[in-house]
């Protein structure tokens, strides 16, 4: 499977990767898909082989009642792994998705520790990390699409990330890509998260100071890509619209 514009026949197979080819990985918080068509345009421009999406709304009347993840997967001819984080009664679901042009061997939702009481705001559920185990040209690639709590302390977010890393310790994998919106906006937090990732042999790929979201005049390093078991180019932040976050990407080189 591969990227296709809307006007092309869905299901058209593209040539497979050859050994040693680059794999484009993308992480993008799509801001509930409010500007859905612009999100789709941005994703088409990036042409990711593995795409992690956060803030994926499903069946919200305010957003047309669409199943955003399934619609994007159909539109671009990609395989889908989806996990529900929150449910808002009478409205819809909030979750995360991994889109892949490679076979998905398994798809698992990891519930993260509750470090904020969302039930008082009408949400049932929890923050999650979405684990997708992919088969990439005969090799296994473990993907963790992670969205940490924005309404928490740095300690609370570190606890949530530790839950993801604990899954990796219990069920090890050689080639691992951790990416997503880690909401690291407090002073000193990016340094602490970087050290936590490095302790688990996950190399952060974005350069220090690479801001991915701006709110008014203030910008933050919120979105991350980290890798172990493979080589990669330095990640990029893309100045593309469609969300309050900018997408980030990198190119992996298979061992």
Residue 245 lies in a domain: no
Residue 11 lies in a domain: no
Chain-wide mean pLDDT for the chain?
A: 91
Confidence band of 21 (pLDDT split at 50, 70, 90): low
First to last CA, the chain: 22
φ/ψ of 69, rounded to 5, equals -65, -45
Provide mean pLDDT across the span 147-170. Answer: 98
Confidence band of 4 (pLDDT split at 50, 70, 90): very low
- Interval 193-217: pLDDT, tens: 999 999 999 999 999 999 999 999 9
Joined together, the tokens standing for residue 9 give 């026949």
Separation of alpha carbons 131 and 136, rounded Å: 15
Residue 180 lies in a domain: yes
Global pTM reads: 0.92
Return the CATH number at 224: 3.60.10.10
Domain that holds residue 206: 23-232
Pairing relationship of beta strands 139-147 and 176-181 according to DSSP bridges = parallel
Residue 173 lies in a domain: yes
- Interval 119-140: pLDDT, tens: 999 999 999 999 999 999 999 9
Provide mean pLDDT across the span 56-72. Answer: 88
Residue 251 lies in a domain: no
Residue 246 lies in a domain: no
Number of domain units in the chain: 1
Residue 13 lies in a domain: no
Residue 111 pLDDT more than 80? yes
In a 10 Å sphere around its CB, with 0-12 CB exposed, 13-18 middle and 19+ buried, how is residue 45 labelled? exposed
**Residue 1: per-residue pLDDT:** 60
Residue 198 lies in a domain: yes
Long-range CB contact pairs, 14-21, < 8 A, 24+: 14/101, 16/137, 17/49, 17/136, 17/137, 17/254, 18/137, 19/137, 19/254, 20/253, 20/254, 21/137, 21/254
**Residue 20: per-residue pLDDT:** 61
């Amino acid at each position: 499977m591969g990227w296709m514009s809307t006007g092309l026949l869905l299901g058209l197979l593209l040539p497979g990767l050859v050994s040693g080819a680059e794999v484009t990985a993308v992480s993008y918080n799509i801001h509930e898909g409010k500007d859905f068509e612009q999100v789709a345009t941005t994703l088409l421009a990036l042409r990711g082989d593995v795409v992690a999406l956060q803030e994926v709304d499903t069946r919200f009347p305010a957003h047309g009642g669409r199943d955003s993840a399934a619609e994007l997967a159909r539109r671009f001819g990609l395989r889908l792994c989806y996990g529900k984080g929150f449910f808002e009664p009478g409205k819809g679901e909030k979750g995360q998705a991994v889109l892949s042009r490679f076979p998905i061997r398994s798809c698992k939702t990891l519930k993260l520790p509750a470090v904020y009481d969302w039930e008082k705001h009408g949400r049932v559920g929890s923050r999650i990390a979405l684990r997708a185990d992919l088969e990439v040209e005969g090799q296994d690639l473990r993907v963790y699409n992670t969205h940490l709590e924005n309404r928490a302390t740095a300690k609370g977010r570190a606890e949530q990330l530790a839950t993801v890393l604990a899954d990796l310790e219990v069920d090890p994998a050689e080639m691992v890509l951790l990416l997503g919106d880690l909401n690291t906006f407090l002073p000193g937090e990016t340094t602490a998260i970087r050290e936590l990732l490095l302790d688990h042999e996950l190399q952060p790929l974005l350069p220090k100071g690479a801001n991915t979201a701006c709110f008014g005049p203030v910008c933050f390093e919120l979105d991350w890509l980290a890798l172990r078991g493979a080589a990669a180019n330095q990640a990029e932040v893309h100045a593309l619209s469609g969300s309050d976050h900018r997408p980030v990407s990198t190119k992996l080189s298979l061992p």
